[in-house]
């Protein structure tokens, strides 16, 4: 199995999995686990006529995803309780947000740390409240701390001392050093309140954030999962009135038009996502490289195409930091 096309095909066209042999199943499962897509795949393939052993593994993955979902929502609830007295808006981001909002991207999705977004001016209060409710710094390290506070879009990570779960507190969705500057106050102003009082991004902003996360905020590791989120959300939101035009408006407002267009093209190419032609734009020469990078995983679950991955890694740091700062960052890291 040369690349992750097998996984993409199973997600895109579940019935294609009914023809797989035992060896291909083993490969598919390894790939799905490596890409954090096992739970999503397990829900996608639910109800098909599959070998008994496969059924059992998929059922285990669905049960596991349900536990993950429950624990993530609980972590959000505990953060809500700690922050409620402050009266500031608290937005859930990424996996926890999808689960809490009940969007289909949340179905079976892996969820790691709790990501929340709060107004920048409330960061100090929020930090104090969390520290008072059992969270503590993961590492005491002056340089990293300063680096986070000055340049990143979040507080240094905190971990809860009893529950052993991490929280990332963001005040915007990209590092301050990134070339795009999303409008954080507009993200909050347009956010949607859930029954619990916690909030999530509006549907268009959710997709803009997912696209930003896919390209600008990393080296495309875990990209197939992030792109799957986008596929699920686009399919769910596209029937709403004026969705495509508001997605375009929000992407421009947050200076992420290029990222959103590319995400749309890649989602269409890999997952067959129905997209707005005008917003997706014309195919760009780099699209092929992005696609190759996303598929760089073999049937043993190993990453492949090392030079390409290195190129994307360097690119991700370049995108985050102006060159002089990058040099300083790498220098300080190297000396430690």
Partner 1 sequence: MAGLSYIADDESLVRKVELDGLTALFHVPSGMTHIVAPPAPQILEALAGRPADLKELVRRLSRNFDVDGAESALAARLDELEAAGLVSRP
Partner 2 sequence: MRHSHALQVGPVAFRLGSEWRQPIEALKQLYAGYPAPDGPCDFTVRLEAETPWRRWLRPAVAIRGDYTLPDAVPMALAHGLLAAEMGMNLQMALGQKRYLLLHASSVERDGKALLMTGASGSGKSTLSAILGEQGWRFMGDEFALLDMDDGRLHPFPRAVSLKNQAVLVLEEIVGGDRFGPVLRNTPKGTIRHLRPNEEAVARMREPARPVLILFPQYGRGLQAAVRPVGQAEIFVRLTQASTNYVALGEPGYGALCRLVTGTPARAIDYSSTEAALTLIDGLWGEFA
How many angstroms separate the CA atoms of 43 and 70, rounded? Answer: 16
CB of 133 to partner 1, least distance (A): 8
Site size toward partner 1 (CB under 8 A) is 12
Burial label for 192, CB within 10 Å (0-12, 13-18, 19+), is middle
* CB nearer to partner 2: pick between 30 and 202: 30
How many angstroms separate the CA atoms of 91 and 89, rounded? Answer: 6
Burial label for 301, CB within 10 Å (0-12, 13-18, 19+), is middle
H/E element holding 186? helix 184-189
CB of 156 to partner 1, least distance (A): 23
From 51, 102, 274, 322, residue interacting with partner 2 (rule: CB under 8 A): 51
* CB nearer to partner 1: pick between 16 and 63: 63
How many angstroms separate the CA atoms of 242 and 12, rounded? Answer: 26
From 2, 56, 81, 240, residue interacting with partner 1 (rule: CB under 8 A): 81
CB of 67 to partner 1, least distance (A): 6
List the structure tokens of 142: 């002056």
From 5, 12, 14, 26, residue interacting with partner 2 (rule: CB under 8 A): 26
Look at residues 253, 241, 247 and name the one whose alpha carbon lies nearest to residue 281. 247
* CB nearer to partner 1: pick between 52 and 164: 164
Question: Interface residues for partner 1 in 119-138 (CB under 8 A)?
Answer: 134
Question: Interface residues for partner 2 in 294-323 (CB under 8 A)?
Answer: 300-302
Applying CB under 8 A, the residues found at the interface with partner 2 are 22-23, 25-26, 29-30, 33-34, 51-54, 56-57, 60-61, 63-64, 66-67, 70, 300-302
């Amino acid at each position: 199995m040369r690349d992750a096309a097998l996984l993409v095909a199973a997600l895109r066209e579940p019935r294609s999995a009914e023809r797989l042999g035992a060896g291909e199943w083993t490969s598919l499962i390894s790939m799905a686990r490596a890409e954090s897509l096992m739970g999503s795949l397990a829900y996608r393939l639910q109800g098909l006529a599959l070998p008994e052993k496969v059924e059992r593994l998929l059922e285990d993955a669905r049960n596991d995803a349900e536990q993950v979902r429950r624990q993530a929502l609980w972590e959000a609830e505990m953060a809500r309780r700690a922050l409620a007295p402050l009266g500031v808006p608290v937005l859930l981001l990424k996996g926890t947000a999808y689960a809490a909002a009940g969007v289909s991207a949340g179905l079976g999705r892996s969820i790691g740390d709790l990501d929340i977004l709060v107004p920048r001016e409330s960061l100090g209060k929020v930090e104090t409240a969390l520290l008072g409710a059992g969270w503590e710094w993961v590492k005491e390290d002056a340089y990293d701390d300063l680096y986070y506070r000055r340049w990143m879009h979040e507080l240094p990570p905190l971990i809860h001392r009893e529950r052993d779960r991490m929280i990332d507190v963001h005040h915007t969705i990209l590092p301050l050093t990134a070339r795009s500057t999303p409008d954080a106050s507009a993200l909050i102003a347009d956010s949607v309140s859930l029954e619990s009082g916690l909030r999530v991004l509006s549907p268009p902003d959710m997709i803009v954030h997912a696209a930003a996360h896919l390209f600008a905020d990393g080296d495309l590791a875990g990209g197939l999962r992030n792109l799957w989120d986008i596929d699920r959300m686009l399919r769910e939101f596209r029937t709403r009135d004026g969705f495509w035009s508001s997605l375009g408006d929000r992407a421009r407002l947050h200076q992420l038009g290029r990222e959103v267009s590319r995400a749309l093209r890649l989602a269409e190419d890999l997952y067959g996502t129905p997209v707005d032609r005008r917003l997706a734009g014309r195919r760009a020469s780099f699209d092929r490289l992005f696609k190759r990078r996303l598929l760089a995983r073999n049937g043993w679950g190993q990453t492949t195409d090392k030079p390409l991955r290195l190129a994307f890694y360097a690119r991700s740091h370049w995108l985050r930091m102006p060159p002089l700062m990058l040099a300083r960052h790498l220098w300080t890291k190297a000396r430690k």
